[in-house]
C-alpha cells in the first residue's frame, strides 16, 4: 500500500502511487502543479474549443492583467472520456496558451500521464 499524498510543487510521486492512481487522480496532480506555478486551469469548459479558448484567454487577462495570461483547458466533451472510476478510455486533448506548452508537458510527465503534442502548437494530447 502506498501512503503518498501528492501536493503541488513537491516533485514526482513514487512509483507505488503512479501504479495505483487513476488517470483522473494523475490529471488532478498535473493540474495542481500547473496552478501552483500560476497557470489558469479550467477543466471541462464547454463543447467548442475555439470559443472556450477566447473566453479563457480573456479571463486570464482580467485575472492577471500584468501576467503572461497562461492557461490550460479541455472541453466538457473530452472530459467524457473518463469513466466514473477515473479511468481515461479515449484521448484527452488539452488546449493551452502557447507559452504553457513546456509546463503542461512537464506536469503531465511528473504525473505519469503519457502524452504527445496535439493537433496544433497550442494543444497536447493525453493517451489512456
pLDDT tens digit string along 61-106? 898 888 889 999 999 999 999 999 999 999 999 999 999 999 999 9
Report if residue 2 sits inside a domain: no
Contact by Cβ (8 Å): 78, 92: yes
* Domain total in the chain: 1
Q: Which residues form the domain of 121?
A: 24-126
Neighbours of 97 (CB within 10 A): 21
Round the average pLDDT of the chain to a whole number and report it: 94
Report if residue 10 sits inside a domain: no
For residue 54, the model assigns a pLDDT of 95
Per-state percent for the chain, helix, strand, coil, to nearest 5: 40, 15, 45
Neighbours of 57 (CB within 10 A): 16
Say whether pLDDT at 25 is over 80: yes
Report if residue 108 sits inside a domain: yes
Report if residue 28 sits inside a domain: yes
Amino acid at each position: 500500500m502506498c501512503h503518498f499524498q501528492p501536493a503541488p510543487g513537491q516533485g514526482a510521486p513514487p512509483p507505488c502511487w503512479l501504479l495505483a492512481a487513476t488517470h483522473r487522480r494523475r490529471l488532478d496532480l498535473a493540474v495542481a502543479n500547473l496552478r501552483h506555478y500560476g497557470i489558469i486551469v479550467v477543466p471541462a469548459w464547454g463543447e467548442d474549443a475555439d470559443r472556450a479558448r477566447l473566453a479563457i484567454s480573456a479571463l486570464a487577462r482580467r485575472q492577471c492583467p500584468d501576467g503572461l495570461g497562461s492557461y490550460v483547458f479541455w472541453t466538457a466533451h473530452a472530459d467524457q472520456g473518463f469513466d466514473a472510476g477515473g479511468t481515461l478510455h479515449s484521448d484527452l486533448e488539452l488546449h493551452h496558451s502557447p507559452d504553457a506548452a513546456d509546463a503542461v508537458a512537464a506536469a503531465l510527465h511528473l504525473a505519469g500521464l503519457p502524452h504527445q503534442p496535439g493537433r496544433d502548437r497550442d494543444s497536447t494530447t493525453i493517451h489512456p
